[in-house]
Amino acid sequence: MTEQETAGLENLLHENRRFAPSPEFSEQAVAGPELYEAAATDRLGFWARQSRELLSWDTAFTDTLDWTDAPFAKWFVGGKLNVAYNCVDRHVEAGNGNRVAFHFEGEPGDTRTITYADLQKEVAKAANTLKNLGVNTGDRVAIYMPLIPETVIAMLACARLGAPHSVVFGGFSADALHSRILDAEAKIVITADGGFRRGSASALKPAVDAALAKGAPSVSNVLVVQRTEQDTEMTEGRDLWWHETVGEASTQHTPEFFDSEHPLFILYTSGTTGKPKGILHTSGGYLTQTSYTHRNVFDLHPETDVYWCTADVGWVTGHSYSVYGPLANGTTQVLYEGTPDSPHKGRWWEIVEKYKVSILYTAPTAIRTCMKWGDDIPAQFDLSSLRVLGSVGESINPEAWVWYRKVIGGDKAPIVDTWWQTETGAIMISPLPGVTETKPGSAQVPLPGIAADVVDDEGRPVENGGGGYLVLTEPWPSMLRGIWQDPERFKETYWSRFKDMYFAGDGAKKDEDGDIWLLGRVDDVMNVSGHRLSTTEIESALVSHPKVAEAAVVGANDETSGQAVVAFVILRGAAGDGGPDVIQELRTHVGNEIGPIAKPKRILVVAELPKTRSGKIMRRLLRDVAENREVGDASTLADTSVMDLIQTGLKDAK
Ligand code: ATP
Ligand code: MG
């Protein structure tokens, strides 16, 4: 620990710095303060205007919102559109066919440049192939793929046919894939032989074979993209190679136009708090809000920006901010197949330099990992093209926020901390980069057109300075339309806790300015001797200590205090092995930061934390460990071996 690093820490202990946009930034920003005014004056009129301006409708809608069958919403009633036409064809028709849609970077270093004109042909070919395989409007298609262009092409081909897709993260097991294929009764599975991960070809197709061997009567065919060229078993009559079918198909396909409420996709939530839910999204409202937020939150200038969202498409962020929002806006994007550390820990920054990425959207977990690897790695690359930085997935610890701004953003790029969920479909709470004076660690304000609040147990809005539950008080265009095949669970999960409000399941507080701070899942809130403690705050306190790289906090049953705070920490290299002195130091640090009540009763040093594909910590599994129970369902972890690693490590330490 150098003196300078320790001095940096002092500043962060209570991070009160504010970062206003520069006048030059605000000057050129697509969104100014008038957006809030316009939305406040006439909210539905505002959305209707956004929808007409941002999308191309084949038949104009007659009503903006029908909420008579609440909580089942209909947006842009009577309108007809084709989502894929909006994302691809219309850009070509407008003369932008030569604009790059994707700079694809494979993990081994292979690259492809795909223009909007190329994309139009590829999507038409895939749509024709699916059609030939009997996919009709309304049929479901499962997509189980690495992060390659064909994944996006497959999604758009489904959208073009009005066949809802269900993308299943390529890291999931055959079991997880099987249950999702059954739940959605998918007709076709689109997959690949494999993908490249950490320097080697990792097979995908065998998991599809295993899933289908468990019985999946709805599936008639499997379409297989050749990516790694590894040996792959093909079942005669069922399995087809993409290059032999799509590769040979016609590039002409005339889109049909579908009702605004036509289902676009089903996507299962991460399962951090329970059994995954099949979230249903539809067309017109979803595309309106994803394109609106993508444009305004990231200050998109489609002619000049190069945008990169690092999310896997198996996560909602990949749907809304690597596919639908950016493509509807005619964006040039980077698509990268692999991990940030392959073949070296500077790979992401090398990609930023190579493509002159100007807008980067990633998750706090990735930022903390890069922080742990050290400032000298990004310092080797030219990151000066970056002008907007986004964060999503969990609260960003102030420490990580400031690092992101300084080391990656050159102390000038505004950070947008975006709060939303699979269920909300698009960003809901976030600064606007040319308007908002940002606060490290807070998502701050509902976007223009969005109504959010923090309420107490009785559903009454809390005063500034108070804490409670995050709710959405008005319907929004990209809201989920239900849980697939389960309307009761939809009402029960989101609409029964408070009357006429959507319950997000997150704890939050309003600060003195009325800005919103997210505090973690309501399910994770701890109750220690009658005090309600937030996981996020204690974790941020731990991460603000120079010896800690990552932290996860849970409340474990405790005879004396009801619940006791148990922390799992990953130490930084310099901290040694985490002997009793370090543990004591961390406990004292949390006590100083938040108060004695928040001091963890136990701190366990671990090498990894259990995370979902979107980098969220699965605290329920850690609670199982802390309470010495058998560990629950871990099938949606990005790496399922982590729990074994943690338990073995803890046994060895005893
Ligand atoms: P499940 O509902 O099955 O547990 P999940 O909620 O993890 O799955 P997602 O929809 O990907 O699946 O995650 C949404 C959640 O992520 C939000 O409810 C919130 O807890 C968290 N989140 C996302 N962005 C932010 C943010 N900017 N700040 C704080 N929390 C965030
Ligand atoms: Mg959730």
Q: List the Cα angle 121/281/166 in 5-degree steps.
A: 60
Q: Which atom of ligand 1 is nearest to the CA of 316?
A: 11
Return the ligand 1 atom nearest residue 616 CA. 7
Q: Is the peptide bond before 580 cis (omega within 30 degrees of 0)?
A: no
Helix (H) or strand (E) holding 103: strand 100-105
Distance 269 CA to ligand 2 centre (A): 6
Query: According to the model, what pLDDT value does residue 118 have?
Result: 98
Whether residue 274 has pLDDT greater than 80: no
Going by C-alpha positions, the residue among 472, 450, 466, 469 that lies closest to residue 458 is 469
Asked if pLDDT for residue 8 goes beyond 90, the answer is: no
Would you give the DSSP letter of residue 315?
S
pLDDT(13) > 50: no
In this prediction, residue 531 has a pLDDT band, given cuts at 50, 70 and 90, of confident
CB 275 within 8 A of CB 484: no
pLDDT band, very low/low/confident/very high, at 4 (cuts 50, 70, 90): very low
Confidence of residue 636 (pLDDT cuts 50, 70, 90): confident
Q: What is the pLDDT of residue 415?
A: 98
Determine whether 560 is exposed, middle or buried from the number of CB atoms within 10 Å of its CB (0-12, 13-18, 19+).
exposed
pLDDT digits (tens, 9 = 90+) for 164-222: 999 999 988 898 899 999 999 999 999 999 999 999 999 999 999 999 999 999 999 99
d(CA 536, CA 525): 9
**CB proximity list for 332: less than 8 A, separation 6 or greater:** 99, 100, 101, 102, 103, 302, 305, 306, 307
Dump pLDDT digits (tens) for 345-401: 999 999 999 999 999 999 999 999 999 999 999 999 999 999 999 999 999 999 999
Q: According to the model, what pLDDT value does residue 653 have?
A: 55
Probe target for ligand 1 pocket from 319, 394, 454, with the most ligand atoms within 8 Å of CB: 394
Q: Which residues are annotated as a binding site?
A: 197-200, 317, 417-422, 506, 521, 529, 532, 543, 545, 548
Distance 379 CA to ligand 1 centre (A): 31
- Amino acid 14: pLDDT: 63
Binding residues for CoA, as ranges, are: 197-200, 317, 529
Structure tokens at 283: 């067309």
234 C-alpha to ligand 1 centroid (Å): 38
Centre of ligand 2 to C-alpha 642, Å, is: 22
Average pLDDT over the chain, rounded to an integer? 93
Instruction: Measure 306 CA to ligand 1 centroid, in angstroms.
Output: 26
User: From the CA of 270, how far away is ligand 2's center (Å)?
Assistant: 7
* Alpha helix ranges (H) inside 166-272: 174-184, 205-213, 242-245
Place of tokens 């009567």: 217
φ, ψ of residue 236 in degrees (nearest 5):
-55, 135
Q: For residue 652, what pLDDT band results from cuts at 50, 70 and 90?
A: low
CA dihedral 198, 201, 205, 209 (to 10 degrees): -90
Statement: residue 1 has pLDDT above 70: no
Name the residue among 222, 182, 268 with its Cα closest to residue 483: 268
Question: What is this model's ipTM?
Answer: 0.98
d(CA 394, CA 363): 8
CA atoms of 194 and 192, how far apart (whole Å): 5
Q: Whole-angstrom Cα distance, residue 293 to residue 579?
A: 47
Instruction: For the chain, give the percent of residues with pLDDT over 90.
Output: 83
Give the CA-trace dihedral at 413, 313, 64, 254, to 10 degrees: 120
β-pairing, 221-225 vs 188-192, is: parallel
In 450-515, the DSSP E strands lie at 452-455, 467-472, 482-483, 502-510
Please give the model's pTM, rounded to 2 decimal places.
Answer: 0.93
Which tops the pLDDT comparison, 504 or 277? Answer: 504
> How far apart are the C-alpha atoms of 119 and 155, rounded to whole Å?
12
pLDDT in tens, 434-478: 999 999 999 999 999 999 999 999 999 999 999 999 999 999 999
Alpha-carbon dihedral angle through residues 20, 26, 27, 29, given to the nearest 10 degrees: 170
Q: What is the pLDDT of residue 594?
A: 84
C-alpha dihedral (80, 258, 316, 146), degrees to nearest 10:
-140
8 Å CB contact between 473 and 452:
yes
End-to-end CA distance of the chain: 29
pLDDT at 614: 77
The total number of residues written for the chain in this structure: 654
Q: Which atom of ligand 1 is nearest to the CA of 443?
A: 27
Residue 18 sits at the vertex; the CA angle it makes with 12 and 22, to the nearest 5 degrees, is: 130
Span 638-654, mean pLDDT? 75
Best mutation site among 169, 267, 280, 419 for ligand 1 pocket (most ligand atoms within 8 Å of CB): 419
CA torsion through residues 67, 68, 72, 74, sign: negative
Residue nearest atom 31 in ligand 1 by C-alpha distance:
394
Confidence of residue 7 (pLDDT cuts 50, 70, 90): very low
Q: List the residue whose alpha carbon is closest to atom 30 of ligand 1.
A: 394
Q: Which ligand neighbours the alpha carbon of 506 most closely?
A: 1
Atom of ligand 1 nearest to the CA of 270: 8
Q: Which protein residues have a CB closer than 5 Å to ligand 2 (ion)?
A: 269
pLDDT reading at 5 higher than 70: no
The Å distance, Cα 394 to ligand 1 centre, comes to 6
Q: What is the pLDDT of residues 22-53, one digit of tens each?
A: 999 999 999 999 999 999 999 999 999 999 99
What percentage of residues in the chain have a pLDDT greater than 70? 96
> What pLDDT does 160 receive?
98
Q: Looking at the predicted structure, is the pLDDT value of residue 525 above 90? A: no
Residue 247: φ, ψ to 5°: -55, -30
How big is the chain by its Cα radius of gyration, in Å? 24
Which residue has 């009763």 as its token pair?
Answer: 601
What would the mean pLDDT of 295-322 be, rounded to a whole number? 97
Asked whether the beta carbons of 443 and 417 are under 8 A apart, the reply is yes
* pLDDT tens per residue across span 61-71: 999 999 999 99
Output the residue whose Cα is nearest ligand 1's atom 23: 393
Question: Comparing C-alpha atoms, which of 443, 86, 100, 21 is closest to residue 292?
Answer: 86
Mean pLDDT of 149-166: 98
Residue whose pair of structure tokens reads 């699965």 in the numeric block: 618
User: Could you give the angle at which helices 642-653 and 619-626 cross, rounded to 10 degrees?
Assistant: 30
Contact indicator for 349, 310 with CB cutoff of 8 Å: no
For range 628-639, the mean pLDDT: 83
Phi first, then psi, for residue 139 (nearest 5°) are -70, 145
Q: Where are the alpha helices (DSSP H) in 90-222?
A: 90-91, 116-132, 149-161, 174-184, 205-213
Question: Does 654 have pLDDT greater than 70?
Answer: no
Contact 464, 329 (CB under 8 A): no
Give the DSSP H or E segment for 592: helix 580-593
- Closest CA to ligand 1's atom 27: 419
What contacts 24+ positions apart, CB below 8 Å, involve 7-12? 9/544, 9/545, 9/546, 12/398, 12/399, 12/402, 12/544
How deeply is 40 buried, as exposed, middle or buried, from its count of CB atoms within 10 A (0-12, 13-18, 19+)? exposed
